[in-house]
């Protein structure tokens, strides 16, 4: 199967290896090599790997812009400083989203203002606001994102997002995701096969092509947890929560499904506030889908956004949104002609790591930013 990792029965995660890196028995025991990360200048001169990653990055950028232009989505310049973070629970003391990984913004002083600014961990809220412009139906951005979380094999503290928002349903949104991925992968296979072959065998490239010649299956989180229970007999998977759906589970579920898979309908109180609730579901779930790269992690997060001012007001109370800070977002739902939207965020470095079957995310990034160094 495609992908860098194997979720073992004993709860460990192994790295399979590619044409450049040898296999690793337990990826979780490997320390972050600070000296290697800080020595990029010398590596750029002596290691061919970076030339190929540079070419692949360039193609992903070209393909993404070409695809969004084709469907009529407009590139939008956005701030990376904000008071409106996507997951405010951790900052304002609520525990409703304590199991999510994207709830830790980085703060900084902003001139002499009394309130601190946050570095954006997603462009999504601002893309939603950009859709309020007259005659604008689809927008996208390719921007930096920041999260105050410890770096590990699949996490950077600063990374890049390809993000989209449009006046589309979640069903249409999922089609756009799959079409974008297909465009990127097929363009790479056509124009950058030499770069891909530096990391992957011909057999892997054929598997990659085959994966995007069919639809990616979508299952609910409940169905995924049931599959994990059947596989392990561990009773923790009987509890409907993201608390027990981490890196090992994401990797394992792709093994059970046999490839890339989307996980939908997550618990209302364990995901960011901006997702719309699925009607007539008990327990309450949201209309979202995470796309899990085979043998790897979530690479794309997506969802339908809060649909009305009434729904948003309810969410604002549950998630303790500071009304002064989130006034523009609340205001967006008060217009009589408000149109619903859906969108997604694709983690650039995660796509590279999963695609090239790299052992560590810092090995797939030219200038990695982790919590332990700012060099180079």
Domain chopping of the chain, boundaries: 5-364
Across the range 41-53, mean pLDDT stands at 97
Mean of the per-residue pLDDT values of the chain: 94
Give pLDDT tens digits for 183-241: 999 999 999 999 999 999 999 999 999 999 999 999 999 999 999 999 999 999 999 99
Across the range 55-70, mean pLDDT stands at 98
Give pLDDT tens digits for 96-150: 434 344 457 888 999 999 999 999 999 999 999 999 999 999 999 999 999 988 8
Across the range 270-296, mean pLDDT stands at 95
| Residue 335: band (very low, low, confident or very high) from pLDDT cuts 50, 70, 90 | very high
Q: Which of 109, 135, 139 lies closest to 127, judged by CA? A: 139
Across the range 297-312, mean pLDDT stands at 96
More confident: 268 or 77:
77
How far does Cα 333 stand from its chain's mean position?
25
Across the range 255-275, mean pLDDT stands at 94
So what's the pLDDT on residue 7?
Answer: 98
> What's the pTM value of the predicted model, to 2 decimals?
0.95
Q: Give me the residue label for tokens 């996490």.
A: 155
Residue 317 has pLDDT above 90, yes or no: no
CB proximity list for 120: less than 8 A, separation 6 or greater: 78, 79, 80, 81, 82, 85, 105, 126, 143, 144, 145, 146
Residue 91 has pLDDT above 60, yes or no: no
From the candidate CATH numbers 3.40.50.720, 3.40.50.300, 3.10.20.70, 3.30.930.10, the one assigned to the domain spanning 5-364: 3.30.930.10
Across the range 344-366, mean pLDDT stands at 98
Across the range 286-293, mean pLDDT stands at 98
Cis peptide before 58 (omega within 30 of 0): no
Q: Give yes or no for a contact between 168 and 127, defined as CB atoms under 8 angstroms apart.
A: no
So what's the pLDDT on residue 103?
Answer: 54
Residue 94 has pLDDT above 80, yes or no: no
Give pLDDT tens digits for 155-175: 999 999 999 999 999 999 999
In residues, how long is the chain?
Answer: 376
């Amino acid at each position: 199967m495609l992908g860098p990792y194997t979720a073992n029965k004993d709860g460990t995660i192994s790295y399979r290896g590619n044409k450049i890196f040898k296999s690793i028995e337990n990826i979780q025991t490997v320390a972050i090599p600070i000296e290697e990360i800080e020595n990029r200048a010398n590596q750029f001169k002596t290691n061919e790997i970076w030339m190929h990653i540079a070419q692949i990055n360039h193609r992903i950028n070209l393909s993404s812009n070409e695809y969004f232009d084709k469907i009529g989505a407009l590139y939008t310049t956005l701030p990376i400083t904000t008071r409106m973070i996507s997951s405010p629970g951790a900052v304002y003391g609520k525990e409703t989203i304590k199991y999510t990984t994207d709830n830790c913004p980085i703060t900084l002083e902003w001139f002499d203002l009394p309130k601190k600014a946050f570095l954006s961990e997603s462009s999504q809220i601002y893309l939603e606001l950009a859709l309020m412009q007259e005659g604008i139906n689809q927008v996208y951005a390719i921007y930096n994102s920041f999260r105050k979380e410890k770096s590990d094999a699949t996490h950077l503290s600063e990374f890049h997002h390809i993000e989209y928002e449009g006046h589309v349903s979640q069903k249409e949104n999922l089609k756009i995701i799959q079409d974008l991925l297909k465009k990127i992968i097929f363009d790479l296979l056509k124009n950058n096969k030499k770069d891909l072959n530096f990391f992957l065998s011909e057999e892997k490239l054929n598997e990659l092509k085959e994966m995007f010649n069919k639809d990616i299956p979508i299952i609910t989180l409940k169905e995924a947890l049931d599959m994990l229970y059947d596989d392990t007999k561990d009773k923790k998977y009987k509890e409907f929560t993201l608390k027990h759906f981490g890196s090992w589970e994401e990797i394992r579920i792709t093994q059970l499904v046999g490839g890339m898979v989307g996980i939908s309908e997550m618990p209302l109180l364990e995901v960011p506030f901006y997702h719309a609730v699925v009607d007539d579901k008990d327990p309450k779930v949201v209309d979202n889908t995470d796309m899990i790269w085979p043998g790897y992690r979530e690479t794309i997060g997506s969802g339908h956004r809060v649909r009305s001012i009434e729904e948003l007001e309810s969410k604002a109370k549950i998630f303790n949104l500071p009304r002064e800070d989130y006034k523009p977002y609340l205001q967006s739902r008060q217009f009589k002609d408000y149109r619903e939207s859906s969108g997604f965020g694709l983690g650039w470095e995660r796509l590279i790591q999963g695609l090239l079957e790299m052992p560590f995310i810092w090995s797939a990034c030219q200038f990695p930013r982790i919590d332990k160094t700012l060099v180079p």
